[in-house]
Amino acid sequence: MRKRILAGMALLGSAALVVSGCSSGSDSGSASGDTITVGFAQTGSESGWRSANTESMKAAFSTDNGFDLVFNAADNDPAAQIAAVRSFINQGVDAIVIAPIVEDGWDDVLTEAKDAGIPVVLEDRTVTASEDLYATWVGLDFKLEGEKAGEWAAQTFTEPTKMVVLEGTTGSAPANDRAEGFDAAIAGTPIEKIDSQTGDFTRDGGKSVMEGFLQKYGVDGIDLVYAHNDDMALGAIEAIEAAGATPGEDIKIVSIDAVHDGMQALVDGKINYIVECNPLLGDKAADLVKKVLAGDAVDKRTIVEDQAFDQAAAEEALPDRKY
């Protein structure tokens, strides 16, 4: 009998939880000597943030912690990610963790997981599907991140300002929410968004899109770049420098993530402000999986708090940065 079914029996009483066991009988570090098989559908490896997130998840869902992790990275292909989740269902895993590439299109496969009795935990990003199709979500407040970035811009730019935006993956929760939060924060200010295009959260994408902006508007036609993540901001820096301009001076940059390379660029004055998006979600996700399988009550949403950094704060934080 699959362990998730046994774990579900814990709802009948604490004694059932004590006797529940994995068919393998292996002891990999969980409290009862069972191994929890988890399928994790990651977005891909598009950024430094994503790499840090993946490492955090792999460390938390390790054999030492009582897990057998089945990992899949979909290379930012929503169809491939849904196929991976269906594969997890067919394999009969105990639980599924998903970092959804996009918000839409999840209803059918989440229904299949629910019908199979496999709980789903969302990590990092969210979906538009009904909340009863997944157990819980852990991640960041993307809208608030956008608001923090926008508040800095609103306070910094009090004269007419031409801004371009490097958007994240189209249809993804962070791209949607960071745009909404930033736009709300700069409403009524002299900041004008003259162009906005997706760079898919990648450094190459950010560079390519910024090159197009510079060709279209020129260095003097752009005052501010808002990048939905650090990797796109770092790509924009390359494009700005190739155009003979100085990033952080001729063109200001505000970004979100606070990964090591982005923080170094902030210390170097090439980025002007960064709002954090903490990728180290593995321990929280693993804890939620164990609680859900044990039948414990969990909150529908767990939000990890973010910080924000100017140059001085980044210089102080960088030596001890874990990602």
| SS3 per residue for the chain | CCHHHHHHHHHHCHHHHHHCCCCCCCCCCCCCCCCEEEEEEECCCCCHHHHHHHHHHHHHCCHHHCEEEEEEECCCCHHHHHHHHHHHHHHCCCEEEECCCCCCCCHHHHHHHHHCCCCEEEEECCCCCCHHHCCEEEECCHHHHHHHHHHHHHHHCCCCEEEEEEECCCCCHHHHHHHHHHHHHHCCCCEEEEEEEECCCCHHHHHHHHHHHHHHHCHHHCCEEEECCHHHHHHHHHHHHHCCCCECCCEEEEEEECCHHHHHHHHCCCCCEEEECCCCCHHHHHHHHHHHHCCCCCCCEEECCCCEECHHHHHHHHHHCCC
Q: Are residues 172 and 59 in the same domain?
A: no
Residue/partner pairs of 207-213 with CB below 8 Å, 24 or more apart: 207/235, 207/236, 207/238, 207/239, 208/235, 208/239, 209/166, 209/235, 209/236, 210/164, 210/166, 210/235, 210/236, 210/239, 210/240, 211/239, 211/242, 211/243, 213/164
**310 part of a folded domain:** no
**63 part of a folded domain:** yes
Q: Judge whether 230 and 259 are in contact, CB under 8 Å.
A: yes
Flag whether pLDDT at 4 surpasses 90: no
Q: Are residues 23 and 129 in the same domain?
A: yes
Say what the pLDDT of residue 322 is.
85
Question: Angle CA(174)–CA(176)–CA(180) in degrees, nearest 5?
Answer: 110
d(CA 108, CA 193) in angstroms, rounded, equals: 37
Q: At what angle do helices 142-156 and 173-186 cross, to 10 degrees?
A: 30
pLDDT tens-place string over residues 109-166:
999 999 999 999 999 999 999 999 999 999 999 999 999 999 999 999 999 999 999 9
Q: Are residues 135 and 284 in the same domain?
A: yes
Say what the pLDDT of residue 71 is.
98
pLDDT tens-place string over residues 58-107:
999 999 999 999 999 999 999 999 999 999 999 999 999 999 999 999 99
**113 part of a folded domain:** yes
**314 part of a folded domain:** no
Q: Are residues 114 and 156 in the same domain?
A: no
**214 part of a folded domain:** yes
Q: Are residues 134 and 201 in the same domain?
A: no
Number of domains in the chain: 2
Q: What is the pTM of this model?
A: 0.85
Q: Are residues 17 and 103 in the same domain?
A: yes
Q: Are residues 48 and 131 in the same domain?
A: yes
Which tokens is 323 given?
Answer: 């990602």
Comparing C-alpha atoms, which of 30, 29, 27, 35 is closest to residue 4? 35
Count how many Cα atoms sit within 13 Å of the Cα of residue 282 in the half-sphere of its side chain.
19
Q: Are residues 184 and 219 in the same domain?
A: yes
Q: Are residues 246 and 147 in the same domain?
A: yes
CATH number, position 29: 3.40.50.2300
| Domain boundaries, position 65 | 3-139+279-304
Q: Are residues 89 and 61 in the same domain?
A: yes
d(CA 73, CA 75) in angstroms, rounded, equals: 6
pLDDT tens-place string over residues 246-266:
999 999 999 999 999 999 999
Q: Are residues 265 and 155 in the same domain?
A: yes
Instruction: Give Cα separations from 210 to 41, 60, 132, 264 (angstroms).
Output: 30, 37, 41, 20
Question: Angle CA(70)–CA(74)–CA(78) in degrees, nearest 5?
Answer: 125
**231 part of a folded domain:** yes
Which tokens is 290 given?
Answer: 């164990």
**309 part of a folded domain:** no
Say what the pLDDT of residue 14 is.
31
**261 part of a folded domain:** yes
Q: Are residues 250 and 300 in the same domain?
A: no
Say what the pLDDT of residue 164 is.
98
**The length of the chain, given as a count of residues:** 323
Cα Rg of the chain (Å, integer): 22
pLDDT tens-place string over residues 189-243:
999 999 999 999 999 999 999 999 999 999 999 999 999 999 999 999 999 999 9
3-state secondary structure 286-304: HHHHHHHHCCCCCCCEEEC
